[in-house]
Amino acid sequence: MRTAVLVVLAMVAFGLSEAAWPASVQNTDNQGYELIAVEPGYRQDFRRPYQVLEHSKTEICIYGCDLYLLSTGQGVRIGPDDTVTISWGVMRVERSFRNTP
């Protein structure tokens, strides 16, 4: 019985560590921005436009993607659970501890 409980706990701990957490985009400006998210696909990349309103935070890209800020042309690659902060038209990426080698 004790061994079965330990096995179940190990499976739960491993499952939570391997779960995908969506990346988030936070805008700290008084101005909204338009983004293009490019997610990898099987035959071709999937491009999705996003609009980030002023002083807002939204979740985006569950498995990671490339983000392009249309007003400046800046691009960043983000992974799951990363946070992108837009301030004065510049994107800054804060990497998650899950994405660091």
Domain ranges of the chain: 21-99
Mean pLDDT of the region 82-93: 93
pTM assigned to the model: 0.72
**Rg (Cα) of the chain, in Å, rounded?**
17
Tell me if 68 sits within 8 A of 74, measured CB to CB.
Answer: yes
**Regarding predicted confidence, which is higher, 32 or 14?**
32
CATH class given for the domain over 21-99: mainly beta
The Cα 9–Cα 4 span in angstroms is: 9
The tens digit of pLDDT for each residue in 5-20 reads 555 565 555 554 455 6
Q: What is the pLDDT of residue 92?
A: 94
Query: How confident is the model at residue 39, as a pLDDT?
Result: 87
Mean pLDDT of all residues in the chain? 82
pLDDT tens by residue, 46-78: 888 988 999 999 998 888 899 999 999 999 999
In this prediction, residues 11-32 reach a mean pLDDT of 74
Cα torsion through 4, 5, 9, 11, rounded to 10? 20
Q: What is the pLDDT of residue 35?
A: 93
Token pair belonging to 43: 């035959």
